[in-house]
Amino acid sequence: MAARYPASLHLDNLMHRTPHLLTQDELAIWLESGKDTLMMGCEPAFAAVNLGADEVFIELDAVQSDEPSTVGELLLLDTVFAAAKALQYQDKTAPKQPCGVRVSSVRFTGELAQSRFLWLKKQQSDKDGTSQITVSIADHNGTILATLNGLTFAPTNGPKPGVTDNQTALVSPQWCAYQDGESGTSVAASDAILLLGFDEQVAAQVQQTAPDAWCAAISECELEGLAYATPMLDFANSQIAAHGKSQRKVTVICNTGISPAIAQSIYSFLQSVKQEYSQLQNEVISLATAHSADDVLQLLAVSRTGFYRVVETGLEQQQWVKSTRCGEAQQTALYQDGGTYLITGGLGGLGMIFAKQILAETTDSHVILTGRGGAEDKQSVLAAAFGEQHARVRYVQMNLAAQSDVTQVIDDILAQRGQLSGIIHCAGMVDDSKLSNKSAEQVQAVLAPKVLGTLHLDQACAALELDFFLLSSSIVSVFGNAGQADYAMANGFLDGFAEQRNAQVAIGQRHGRTLSINWPLWESGGMSIPAPARALLTELTGMHVLPTNVGLEILLQAWREQAQQTLALYGDPALLVEMFAPLTCQFTDLLATNVAALSTQHSSDANSEQDWQANLLTKILMEEFEGTEY
């Protein structure tokens, strides 16, 4: 039987039932056991905490409850977990190691931005004596906005020193012939259709055939450089504003003039939009050959979701398969003695790690690290980081968004070293917030280092005989992530660009293999998350943060694989299989959720524990930094 939920809290009654108002000193002691649940690293902002026998009634600080978008949602999540764990362990000793979280059901009935009161009540205990807690989140009138049932904490089985049971898995996208789905006679399956690189005539014909669907076309000239981000942002926000509470199927068709990199970028963008608005279904189709309006209508007559392309042999779907080793002829070392290597974002965590790897594995090689900051005082940084090897490392200021800057740096390298052997593109930027809060300028700023940077590096090196062009992408481009639609879009561009440039290599227009690696969180490089969030990530998915030595092994292994894009996974193999298997099937929807945790815009009863945990994972993976470059 479905749980019954009250519509509101009786605030006066709860105050009477929880008579003990904690002093600041008492609150600090009471919260001690809950501190290790914090993912944002901030102290919970309580205005008042009242304890009863098996329950606690909390008034939230107005500053916390008024925090905008995703930041406020994570602060609220931290507060709920901290209070729940404190209540669970107030009469006994809490475990010293971080605890995983379980929730049996969750229901959203309002906007959590209005949250002002929490009521937490202990329910029956499990067989092991662990209490289950019900949490109600209410506004200033007591109207309940969300209810969590069966909330429990249990120590996680994190990695143990010296234990090497964790394994790596590399999977790659592959284009497979599409097996026809259910065909129809209209485009009713798509509620919104965006035609990129088509003229208005085609859009008019599609609209005439499907008068109930929303349809628009955007010409190629409006999509050059970073310009494609603006119509995609406007499109997504307009659809969400009009239909955010109902299921919506979105189809984007990219004509022949739209590059594979942009098509992949758009699909990755929509994957993240889906994490914030769970009712969205998306389909992106990239056309390799010219298509008429009738051809477009035929494509729209089949109900599908996912990423597709149309080639001469027909429609193909992007699926994920376990990477396979390439022939012996490809088993060459990644770095060569005497080589010259350029690393963008070079002073960031990953840039430094890769630079040290190059110096350790080669002799007489040189590394040029680039960044937007000036070169002043960088020599002391290099000396501290590289010790005796620092003479083989040089820092150069470079603005990746300016073609002239990039070209000048490449020309200077050639003048001084006579060659450029390879490029490792690590530069990036994050600026996380809810999609509706993002401006076109913010989105383009996040895209610039990866999108413009990649294009400008490629243009400046078009005639050079590179050994490789390595692109540091993210798992966010595959799974999407709440608050990171622009970051997913930027990394998706890298994934598509690898395919695009390798096609040019095949016909002699470029030299050197391009490889895009979708990295998970590193232990020492890139952005980081607090230890409790790491523990929860492991508990929910089996994934562990990537130790540096394992990451470097993955890089070399990925270089030996046939794929031009590789998704790297590391952790407990049994749990990874459970989360991501079967690898031969498309699994990009496995982390999507029917509940947008603490930001849902619709009501949902008794959603599954797996859905709640999957959405919680997207919150954990969100690197919560504003305007941060690396």
**Tens-digit pLDDT profile for residues 382-420:** 999 999 999 999 999 999 999 999 999 999 999 999 999
Q: What pLDDT is attached to residue 46?
A: 84
Delimiting residues of CATH 3.10.129.110 domain(s) in the chain: 11-155
Do 499 and 263 touch, CB atoms closer than 8 A?
A: no
Taking the C-alpha atoms of residue 538 and residue 349, their distance in angstroms, rounded to an integer, is 22
Q: What pLDDT is attached to residue 494?
A: 98
User: What predicted TM-score, i.e. pTM, was given to this entire model?
Assistant: 0.76
Delimiting residues of CATH 3.40.50.720 domain(s) in the chain: 324-529+544-571
Q: What pLDDT is attached to residue 586?
A: 38
**E strand or H helix at 357:** helix 349-361
Q: Which residue matches tokens 């600080």?
A: 61
192's tokens: 């919104």
For residues 261-288, one letter each, b for 16 or more C-beta atoms within 10 angstroms of the residue's C-beta and e for the rest, the string is bbbbbbbbbbbbbbbbbbbbbbbbbbbe
3-state helix, strand and coil shares in percent for the chain, rounded to the nearest 5:
40, 25, 35
Taking the C-alpha atoms of residue 106 and residue 77, their distance in angstroms, rounded to an integer, is 13
Do 283 and 544 touch, CB atoms closer than 8 A?
A: no
Taking the C-alpha atoms of residue 145 and residue 612, their distance in angstroms, rounded to an integer, is 16
Taking the C-alpha atoms of residue 2 and residue 387, their distance in angstroms, rounded to an integer, is 64
Do 482 and 70 touch, CB atoms closer than 8 A?
A: yes
Q: Which CATH number fits domain 11-155: 3.10.129.110, 1.10.230.10, 3.30.465.10, 3.40.50.300?
A: 3.10.129.110
pLDDT digits (tens, 9 = 90+) for 208-265: 988 888 999 999 988 988 999 999 999 998 888 777 667 788 999 999 999 999 999 9
What are the two backbone dihedrals, phi and then psi, of residue 475, each rounded to the nearest 5 degrees?
Answer: -65, -15
Do 343 and 351 touch, CB atoms closer than 8 A?
A: yes
- Domain 173-321, CATH: 3.40.50
Q: Which residues of the chain have pLDDT under 70?
A: 1-5, 33-44, 62-75, 93-101, 124-130, 154-165, 180-190, 244-245, 323-331, 526-541, 573-630
**Angle, vertex CA 322, rays to CA 317 and CA 327, nearest 5:** 105
- Domain 324-529+544-571, CATH: 3.40.50.720
Q: What pLDDT is attached to residue 477?
A: 94
Q: What pLDDT is attached to residue 156?
A: 55
Closest CA to 226 of 425, 447, 428, 442: 447
Q: What pLDDT is attached to residue 61?
A: 79
Q: What is the DSSP string of 362-406?
A: -SS-EEEEEESS-STTHHHHHHHHHGGGGGGEEEEE--TT-HHHH
Q: What pLDDT is attached to residue 583?
A: 36
Q: What pLDDT is attached to residue 393?
A: 96
Q: What pLDDT is attached to residue 480?
A: 84
**E strand or H helix at 457:** helix 440-460
- What percent of the chain has pLDDT above 90? 44
Helix 531-541 and helix 573-580: axis angle, to 10°?
Answer: 70
Q: What pLDDT is attached to residue 577?
A: 54
